[in-house]
Amino acid sequence: MKILIVDDEPEIIHQLKNALECQLYMVDTALDGEEALDKIFDNAYDLILLDIMLPKVDGLTLLSEIRKGNITTPVLMLTARDSVEDKIKGLDSGADDYLAKPFSIAELMARTRSILRRISENRATLLTVGDIALDTVSRKITVKETPVDMTLKEFSIFEFLIYNKGRVVSRFDLAEHVWGNDFDPFSMSNFIDVHIKNIRKKLGDDNHIRTVRGIGFIIDREQ
């Protein structure tokens, strides 16, 4: 899996690169629109993380350029602007998803995995951990092929944890993911534990969710 990060802020690139490389992705970077265009037309990437505000060629122009050049690589827009109009504009120009700054790495991982899964046809829609299988399309969970009845919230918490397999996910990030930006994640993060408790009960003893004291939860990568 090869990912290109386009952002004019070296520190952000550095952090994103670190995080993605931890997840065993290969990462390439570009600091401005021109450099990005060159790299995109020269290499085959599986995903492009694209900042909208870029020097030389801005993100939206760059996006329509590469779409005109028949490059269908999925693009995840990263931007400091997060109004609805900007979102629509981005998606209209051919972006696959949209992430407003500041975002958590957990959210980025989830979106990244989700996009990669969505666009690749040869990959199954099933995510598995141990005996647990999660179908991202039908939004069903089975344990040893027995369906488990989960609420919408519980499903999206578990899905988020699986997408971040091998990474600790904080309560706050979980809350933000589940309830969205409109809720106050400070008050909502207190309720993640209630949900986790319920999820564990439904999945049984072999649920793979490990509590990391003081921080959050993790589903460990299988050895």
Supply the minimum distance, in Å, between the C-beta of residue 156 and another protein: 12
42 binds another protein (CB under 8 A): no
Taking the C-alpha atoms of residue 46 and residue 73, their distance in angstroms, rounded to an integer, is: 6
**Angstrom distances, CA of residue 104 to CA of 80, 172, 176, 190:** 13, 10, 9, 18
Q: Are the C-beta atoms of residues 74 and 116 closer than 8 Å to each other?
A: yes
- Shortest distance, position 43 Cβ to another protein, whole Å: 24
- Report in angstroms the alpha-carbon separations of 151 from 156, 157, 158, 168: 9, 10, 11, 23
Does 25 engage in binding with another protein (CB under 8 A)?
Answer: no
Instruction: For residue 82, state whether it binds another protein (rule: CB under 8 A).
Output: yes
Choose which of 24, 68, 84, 138 interacts with another protein (CB under 8 A).
Answer: 84
- Does 19 participate in binding another protein (rule CB under 8 A)? yes
| 24 contacts another protein (rule: CB under 8 A) | no
Per CB under 8 A, the segment of 13-21, 116-124, 127-135, 200-208 that binds another protein is 13-21
Which phi and psi (to 5°) does residue 184 adopt? -80, 105
Residues 6+ apart with CB under 8 A from 7: 13, 16, 29, 31, 49, 51, 54, 78
Residues of span 86-145 touching another protein by CB under 8 A: 101-106
The yes or no reply on residue 167 touching another protein (CB under 8 A) is yes
User: Furthest-apart CA pair in the chain: how many Å?
Assistant: 55
64 contributes a contact to another protein by CB under 8 A = no
Q: Which residues bind another protein (CB under 8 A)?
A: 9, 11-12, 15-16, 18-19, 22, 80-85, 101-106, 167-168, 170, 172, 179, 181-188, 190-191, 194-195, 212-215
